[in-house]
Chains A and B, each alone.
Chain A
Amino acid sequence: MLSYLGRRILQLIPVFLGATLLLYAMVFLRPGDPIAALGGERGLPEATQEAIRAEYNLDKPFIVQYLLFLRGVVTLDFGVDFRGREITEVIANAFPVTMQLALMALVIEAVFGIGFGLIAGLRKGKFFDGTVMVLSLTLIAVPTFVLGFIMQIVVGVNLGWLPVTVGNNPDFVSLLMPAIVLAGTSFAYVLRLTRTSVAENSTADYVRTARARGLGRYQVTTRHVLRNSLIPVVTFIGADLGALMSGSIITEGIFNIHGVGGTLYDAITRGESVTVVAMTTVLVVVYIAANLLVDLLYAALDPRIRYA
C-alpha cells in the first residue's frame, strides 16, 4: 500500500514536468508582445521595454526561462507579476475561495446526485424516475451562464433569499448560489450514473440472495445495492473536482468572485506567462491528487482492487 502510494507520487514528477513544459511552450509561442502592449496606445520607449524584458528574464532563450521557472517552483518564489505583486501571493489569494466553491459544489452534486439517483434507480420506470430523468437532461442541456442568470433573478432578486453576487465577501451563504450553479451539470451526471448503477445492481443475484437470507429492504439497499453502485460514481466525482476548479471561470465571472478563474483570465489576456503557468500547475497538481484519492477510495470500496 505504502509502496504503491510512493510510486504514484514518483509518477507525479514526469507528469508535472511534461505539463509545465507544454504550458510554458504554449504561452511562450502566443502571438503578440505583452511588453509592447503594456504601454497602451502611446507605446513605451525602446529602452524601457528592454529594461522590463531583462527584469522578467524575457530576453533569455525559452529553455532558460523554463528552467528559471522550475527554480521558482522549487523555492516557491515565482517572482512578481507585471503589476508588481508577488505571484505566490496572487495564487494564495485566488485559490482558497475557488477551492471552497469547488468543494461546496462537490458536496452538493454528491449528496443530491446520489440521493435522487438512488431513489430513481430503485423506482426505475415509475413517475419519480421519469420526472428526474427529464429534469436532469434539461440541466445538462442548459448552459451554465443561463442557469446562473436565472438563479440570480429568481432566487437573488425576486425572492431575495441569497446574495446576488459575492464580491469581496466570500462567505458560505454568498457562495451557496454559485456553488449550486457550478454543481448543476455534474449533479445531473452523478444522478444519471447512480440511477443506472442502482437499477442494474438491484437486480443482481447477490441482492436477491441477501433478501433470501432474511435481510430487510433497508439493509439490502444500503449494504448491498448502494455500496456496489457507488464504485463508478466515486470515480466520476473524484475526476470532477479538477473539472470544477478549472470550470469555475464562467461561474466566477457571473457572480463576481475573485478566484482562480478571474485571476487566470486576467493573466492570460496580459500574457503573464509565469502567472499563467504557475496557476495552471497548481490546478494540474490538484487534478492529479484528486485522481490519486479516487484510486485509493476505489480500493476501499472494492476489495477486488488491491494496490501493492
Chain B
Amino acid sequence: MTTQFPVTNAGTGDDGLAPVDPSKPLLEIKDLEISFTTAVGTVNAVRGANITVYPGQSVAIVGESGSGKSTTAAAIIDLLPGTGKVTGGSIVFDGRELVGAPAAENEALRGREIGMVPQDPMSNLNPVWRIGTQVTEALKANGFKGSKAELNERIAAVLNEAGLPDAERRAKQYPHEFSGGMRQRALIGIGLASRPKLLIADEPTSALDVTVQRQILDHLGTMTQDLGTAVLFITHDLGLAAERAEHLVVMFKGRVVESGPAQQILADPQHPYTKRLVAAAPSLASRRIQVAHEGGQAPTELVHRAEGGQTGDVVVARNLTKVFDIRGSLFGGSTEFKAVDDVSFRLGRGKTLALVGESGSGKSTAANMVLGLLEPTSGAVEFDGVDIAGLSPQEAFRFRRRIQPVFQNPYGSLDPMFSIFRSIEEPLELHREGSRKQREKRVRELLDMVSLPASAMRRFPNELSGGQRQRIAIARALALNPEVVVLDEAVSALDVLVQAQILELLGKLQDELGLSYLFITHDLAVVRQIADDVVVMQTGKVVEQATTDEVFDNPQQQYTRDLLAAIPGAGLEGVELAG
C-alpha cells in the first residue's frame, strides 16, 4: 500500500464568495477503483484514490500520462471511455453518491453542477456547428428557458465572460475560424455557462502556446474566483499545478502518492516519485538554475555544456527568407505569406542552438530549409562552408547523411509496419553502408547508445512507449554518424520525467560524438537546460539572438520577456525548492 497523506483543508479560498458551507467537502472521492477490460485481462487504472475538494477551492491532480488522473476525472462525470468501470470506492458530490447512481441523474449533473474544460481545443468543438449553437446546446441541456432574444443575449454573455470580444459576431462563426486560444476560451465559456459548482479542467492549456496558455489560465482563475467555482485541474506540469492550485494531489500508476498544500509539496516532497517530479520539472529546473545563478553559482555546473573538438560554425544561415503563395480564387490571383523573413544564425560545431518561438513563428520552416527539405526563396544555408543550394544530386545525397532530423511526434515518424531494426537500418541500407551483418552490428551499437536493449530490434513501434520511440528516432538519426542533428520539438510530446531522460541522453551523445544540435522548441524551460545560444523568432523574424544566459538574465525584447514570464512556475516567488 502507498502512504496516504491526510488531505488538509489548508489554502481554501478565504475570499468568502462560495455560497455553500466551506467546511463541508464539495467533492469527496474515497478509495476509488477503476479498471478497464482489455484482450489480455483487467487493467486497474485507478487504485484506491482519495481526493477531496472543498467549495471554491482549486485542486490539481498531477501525474504523467497513464497515472490515472484523467480517468479519475472522467469517472466523476460518469464518462469513462471504452470498457472503463468503477469497481470500488465512492464519489460523493454535494452530498450525493455518484457511483452506481442512475445514468439520467448523472447526466443531469453534467454541465449544470459539474462543468468541464477539455484538453485539446482543436478536437473538442464539433467542426460542423457554429460556436453559438454549441453554447446554446449547453444552455438548453441545463434548463435554460427563455425567448430567442434572451437566448442570444445569454450566448453573447457567455462568450464575453470567457474573454471573447465582439461575442455576437463570434457566436455565428465556426470553430475553424477560431484560433486555438479562442476555441479554448469558448470551451471555458461553455464549461461555466450553467454556473456549475465544480469545474474540471483536464490539461486545459497543454495544446496551446505558452503566452496564450498564461492568458487563458489567468482568465480561468479570475472567472472561477468571481463565480466561487471550485476547480479540479488535471495536469502533467508540476510547475503549472503549483502556480494555479492551492492544493496538489500527485498520482502515480493509479494511486495517489502524495497530497497537500502546493507550496509544501514543492518545498518538501515526501514520496520518491514526487521528489523525482520536483527535480525533473523543466519549468522548475530553470527556476532553480536562476535561483542558483543569482546565488553566485556558475550555470555551467548545472547546465550541460558540450566541448566540441573542432571549433567554427558548422551551419550558417544567411538572410533566409521563405515566401509561400496562398492560393486565392481562380481569377483573384494569390497572396504572399512570408513564413521566414530575413533570418540569419550560426550553429557552432559541438554546440546547441535553440530556435524558439510560438507556433507560426517560422521556426520549423527555417529548420526545414537547413535540412535542405525546403528551398529558400532568398538567402542561403551554408553547411561546413558550402552553400547547399549549389549541390549536385550526388553531393546532395552525401550532404543528407551529415545532417539528420528528429521530429516531434515519435508516433508519427516511425513506420508502424517496420520493425525497430528495419527503421534504424533503413538509412544505412539506403546509403549502402556495409554488409547486412555489419549493419546489424551497427544497429545493436546504436540501440546501446540510446540505452535500449538489443532485444528491442525485433519489436514494432506500437509495442514501445513514447520515450522509447523517441530514443529509436534518435538512434535512426545517428545511424549515419551525422555532424548535425535537427531536433524539431523532439521532446515536446513527452512526459516530464521522460523528457528529462531524453535531454540527458542528448547531452551525453553530444559529449561523446561531438554533435551539433539545432533545437527547435516553443518551450523556453527546456532551452535553459540544453542550449548554448538562443534565437527567438516571432512571425518569421528574429527578435532576439544571444547566449542562453543573456536571454534568461537580461532579455532585451518585450516578446522574449513575455515568453519567459509565461513559463509555468516562473511566478512561484519565495518558494524554497527541493532537490
Task: Give the tally of cross-chain contacts (CB within 8 A).
Answer: 87
A52 to chain B, nearest CB (A): 49
Which 7 interchain pairs have the tightest Cβ spacing?
Answer: A214-B111, A214-B141, A205-B123, A212-B116, A213-B138, A213-B111, A206-B126
Q: Chain B at the A interface: mostly helix, strand, loop or mixed?
A: loop
Query: Can you report 19 A-B residue pairs in the complex whose CB atoms are below 8 A from each other?
Result: A205-B118, A206-B125, A209-B118, A209-B124, A212-B79, A213-B116, A213-B138, A213-B141, A214-B111, A215-B138, A223-B129, A223-B137, A227-B128, A231-B128, A301-B128, A303-B128, A303-B176, A304-B128, A304-B174
Is A224 positioned at the interface, with any CB of B under 8 Å from its CB? yes
Stretch at the interface among B2-10, B43-51, B186-194: B186-194
- In the complex the two chains form, what is the Cα distance from A211 to B104 in whole Å? 12
Decide if B176 touches A214 in the complex (CB within 8 Å): no
Chain A interface size, under 10 / 10 to 19 / 20 to 34 / 35 or more: 20 to 34
Is B107 positioned at the interface, with any CB of A under 8 Å from its CB? yes
Given contacts A209-B116, A213-B116, are A228 and B128 in contact (CB under 8 A)?
yes
| CB neighbors of B among A88-146 (8 A) | none
Q: Nearest CB to that of B129 among chain A residues?
A: A223
Most chain B beta-carbon neighbours within 10 Å: one of A210, A214, A227: A214
Given contacts A214-B142, A308-B329, 6 further A-B contacts (CB under 8 A): A205-B123, A206-B126, A212-B79, A228-B127, A302-B128, A304-B127
A226 to chain B, nearest CB (A): 11
Most chain B beta-carbon neighbours within 10 Å: one of A205, A207, A212, A227: A212
- In the complex the two chains form, what is the Cα distance from A208 to B81 in whole Å? 9
Q: Nearest CB to that of B331 among chain A residues?
A: A3
Is B108 positioned at the interface, with any CB of A under 8 Å from its CB? yes
| CB neighbors of B among A290-308 (8 A) | 301-304, 308
Which B residues lie within 8 Å of A203 (CB)?
Answer: 81
Partner of B79, one of A7, A204, A208, A219: A208
Partner of B126, one of A7, A210, A214, A216: A210
Decide if A213 touches B137 in the complex (CB within 8 Å): yes
Decide if A214 touches B118 in the complex (CB within 8 Å): no
Is B110 positioned at the interface, with any CB of A under 8 Å from its CB? yes
A214 to chain B, nearest CB (A): 3
| CB neighbors of B among A247-306 (8 A) | 301-304
A224 to chain B, nearest CB (A): 5
Which B residues lie within 8 Å of A224 (CB)?
Answer: 126, 129
- In the complex the two chains form, what is the Cα distance from A136 to B110 in whole Å? 38
Is B112 positioned at the interface, with any CB of A under 8 Å from its CB? yes
Most chain A beta-carbon neighbours within 10 Å: one of B129, B130, B190, B194: B129
A206 to chain B, nearest CB (A): 4
> Mask for A217-230, Cβ within 8 A of B = 1, else 0?
00100011001100
Q: Nearest CB to that of B143 among chain A residues?
A: A214
Which B residues lie within 8 Å of A223 (CB)?
Answer: 126, 129, 137
Decide if B77 touches A212 in the complex (CB within 8 Å): yes
Is B115 positioned at the interface, with any CB of A under 8 Å from its CB? yes
- In the complex the two chains form, what is the Cα distance from A228 to B81 in whole Å? 20
Decide if A212 touches B126 in the complex (CB within 8 Å): no
- In the complex the two chains form, what is the Cα distance from A18 to B119 in whole Å? 52
